[in-house]
Structure 1
Amino acid sequence: MKSLILSTAIAAVAGTMAFADTVRLGTEGAYAPWNFLNDAGEVDGFERELGDELCKRAELTCEWVTNEWDSIIPNLTSGNYDAIIAGMSITDEREEVIDFTQAYTPPDPSAYVALSADVDLEGGVIAAQATTIQAAFIAEQGWTVVEFATPEETVAAVRNGEADAVLADKSFLDTVVDGELVMLERTEAIGGGVGLGLRESDDALRAKFDAAITSMKEDGSLNTMIAKWEVSSQW
């Protein structure tokens, strides 16, 4: 146990020191339009453009790292990268483990997609990505939730009949609605906006990103970027 604690502490210190040279930004790369891999296999989307601009304004050299969603926080705290920028909503539960910058988008409405507009949400099975605010919301309602590792799997569960509907950020579901899937009128207001996640020890790095976010809000460039990618309402 002592060696584990010591190793964690060393990793945290190393991660804190690393940003002086290169800051590693961790993202999922599977949640369009927030973040996804393009045809060249590179991280793309709203958060790629945003992250690059924030690093430029903060005078930081940044590299991009992809990580599966269910281990994205543990791999931050263990030092595999220095910040999470992955459509992550700021919640009290997550703030018990990591810190966040100020929100760079307002809360994005959560919506439902199903094969039929008259699906029974309360009596049905609702799919959600594991460890998301949507999965927690469904469980809090006392409804039946089935969790999947990736957003693509939640949509596939509806298509193949494993689930009656999927609950996710509306901006993501807008990219999957087609002639087969329909968006329900009902939406949910959950989450406290989206911010960068950082280790609790990285106060200086958080301050740099906060200042960059503030400058983008003040000059209107953040709203322009939000509108371009249609990820949420504007500030």
Structure 2
Amino acid sequence: MKTTLLAAAFALTATSGLAQTTVRIATEGAYPPFNFINDAGNVDGFEIELMNDVCARAELTCTWVTTDWDGIIPNLQSGNYDAIAAGMSITPERKAVIDFSDAYYPPTDSAYAAMDGEADIEGGVVAAQVNTIQSGYVAETGATLVEYATPDEAVAAVRNGEADAVFADSDYLKPVVDESNGEFVWVGEPVELGEGIGLGLRQSDTDLRDTFSTAIQTMKADGTLNDLLVKWFGDDTNTF
């Protein structure tokens, strides 16, 4: 019954008020497994597979735009694309300037990783990607924050001795730690930040927001979204 009701609501939303049929979706292409560029040079990852399904359910033609993280919200507001699917956490600060769809990724932990299990994450130097909830969190601790354009550069800063630790989404850092042969270890305690991850949209695009949200709700109801979460993040990941 839940799936049937959502499907009916989705059909109503999809046919009422939404003028556009082609939607440009921005992603960073540098935040695996959420989004990345594969060996064929195409965007790939959890968010790409997710949005391909969402757009099919919404009967929309979606195209992908890759852009740097640091300017991703200003470029949305300038009309260079219509939505953001780039591992963007829903926060009160962001909701003041853009709108969000329903979350397609539940709230999960951020974590510290370092090359030394005794790394000082409270008073030392901690690397994070610029303009993220993780960099905002570090800035309010006693640590010295150093920001980098990409999460890979933040990890490299630890390897290069520019930072004592890196702070990022635990799902991003997990393969860094697991595949480092002991080079990287977890440090300190995990920290839950944000309200989950959703599509970022202009505040004026309420019809598009509702169309995407309803499609995401149908994926939650039929189990497709949880299947994707487990596929890309493993059996231990948080699901809906």
Amino acid at match of 2:192: A
TM-score normalised over the length of structure 2? 0.88
Amino acid at match of 1:226: L
CA distance in 2, matches of 1:143, 1:26: 32
In structure 2, the residue matched to 1:62 is 62
TM-score normalised over the length of structure 1? 0.90
Amino acid at match of 1:197: G
Amino acid at match of 1:35: N
Query: How does 1:72-221 map onto structure 2 within 5 Å?
Result: 72-177=72-177, 178-179=180-181, 180-184=183-187, 186-221=189-224
CA distance in 2, matches of 1:82, 1:142: 38
CA distance in 2, matches of 1:110, 1:183: 11
Amino acid at match of 1:233: N
Deviation of the 1:19 alpha carbon: 6.6
Query: SS state of the match for residue 105, structure 1?
Result: coil
Query: SS state of the match for residue 175, structure 1?
Result: helix
Structure 2 residue runs without a partner (length 5+): 1-16
Deviation of the 1:183 alpha carbon: 2.2
Deviation of the 1:21 alpha carbon: 3.0
CA distance in 2, matches of 1:36, 1:21: 25
CA distance in 1, matches of 2:205, 2:89: 19
CA contact (8 A) 1:19 1:82 kept: no
Amino acid at match of 1:230: F
Which aligned runs of 4 or more in structure 1 are off by greater than 4 angstroms?
none
- CA distance 1:185–1:122, change in 2 (3 Å): closer
CA distance in 1, matches of 2:101, 2:52: 16
Deviation of the 1:132 alpha carbon: 0.2
Query: SS state of the match for residue 97, structure 1?
Result: coil
Structure 1 residue runs without a partner (length 5+): 1-16
CA distance in 1, matches of 2:87, 2:18: 24
CA contact (8 A) 1:32 1:175 kept: no
In structure 2, the residue matched to 1:7 is none
Amino acid at match of 1:206: R
Deviations 1:16-72 (Å, cap 9, x if unpaired)?
Answer: x99713100100000000000000110100000001000011110000000000000
Amino acid at match of 1:29: G
CA distance in 1, matches of 2:18, 2:43: 21
CA distance in 1, matches of 2:52, 2:39: 19
Deviation of the 1:174 alpha carbon: 1.3
CA contact (8 A) 2:33 2:46 kept: yes
CA distance in 2, matches of 1:48, 1:19: 23
Deviations 1:200-232 (Å, cap 9, x if unpaired)?
Answer: 110010010010010001111100100000174
Deviation of the 1:120 alpha carbon: 1.4
Query: SS state of the match for residue 211, structure 1?
Result: helix
CA distance in 2, matches of 1:39, 1:107: 30
Aligned-residue CA RMSD (Å): 1.5
CA distance in 1, matches of 2:108, 2:60: 28
Query: SS state of the match for residue 204, structure 2?
Result: coil
Q: Does 1:233 find its partner at 2:238?
A: yes
CA distance in 2, matches of 1:117, 1:151: 20
Deviation of the 1:175 alpha carbon: 2.2
